[in-house]
Amino acid sequence: MKRIGFQLQVKQDRIDEYKEHHRNVWPDMLDALRRHGWRNYSLFMREDGLMLGYFEADESLEASLAGMETEEINAKWQEMMIPYFEALDGRPDESFVELEEVFHTD
């Protein structure tokens, strides 16, 4: 298991909509995440839209993303999410800035 942290920037004028989508994540999307090792997945956001994500991967960020790439539901979700983010080079899941873990305690 590997702990993964990442960041993205949500547009300030879209924060409320973004949060609403995440209160109602499609069940098929949740199933796909579970199938591809996204465990203990959490998103955190500041008032200005800076978002930090955390999950525990079975292998790595790359393996978890590769698994999701095989899921049609993920392509639909990512396309829906594109307008909510600042400065993307593609879909949100292709634009994660992975954060270095510098400390952890159990």
36 is catalytic: no
State how far the Cα of 94 lies from the Cα of 106, in Å rounded to an integer.
Answer: 30
Residues 6+ away with beta carbon under 8 Å from 43:
22, 51, 52, 53, 54
Q: Which of 21, 22, 36, 104 is catalytic?
A: 22
Residues 6+ away with beta carbon under 8 Å from 15:
45, 49
Q: Annotated active-site positions, please?
A: 22
